[in-house]
Amino acid sequence: MITKRALLPLALLLSACAAKPQAPQPIQALAESHRCPAYPLPPADLLKPPAKTLPQSDRLISTEQAIQLDELIKWVKAQAVIDPNESPR
């Protein structure tokens, strides 16, 4: 069988590729052909973590409140779809 003989070299080739992690390289031809703009990085002070953060309990509360607010927004949008003047079924 040809496929059985081809599987071992293929497995060795794939394992050799996986053993050498490489950073992704930009595709220059694509960027040049589409004339993609170069986006600059944000200022360095925005890349640093904030000096002061909320305590863990406050972070949990704010996360829960954000989830509740999202659900409330979904509910209000769903209610806005309903026509209040429509006759009951």
Closest CA to 16 of 28, 8, 24: 8
Query: Residues, the chain, total?
Result: 89
Tell me how far apart the alpha carbons of residues 70 and 64 are, in angstroms, rounded to a whole number.
10
How many structural domains is the chain composed of? 1
Which residues constitute the domain of residue 69? 55-79
pLDDT digits (tens, 9 = 90+) for 15-67: 666 666 666 666 555 545 555 556 777 777 777 877 788 888 999 999 999 99
Residue 40: the pLDDT is 72
pLDDT of residue 52: 82
Answer whether residue 73 is part of any domain. yes
Residue 65 belongs to some domain of the structure: yes
Decide if 41 contacts 47 (C-beta within 8 A): yes
74 is a domain residue: yes
Domain presence at residue 11: no
In a domain, 5, yes or no: no
Helix (H, G, I), strand (E, B) or coil at 84: coil
pLDDT tens-digit profile of 75-88? 999 999 988 888 87
Which phi and psi angles does 60 have, rounded to 5°?
A: -65, -45
Q: Is residue 89 part of a domain?
A: no
Determine the pLDDT at residue 51: 75
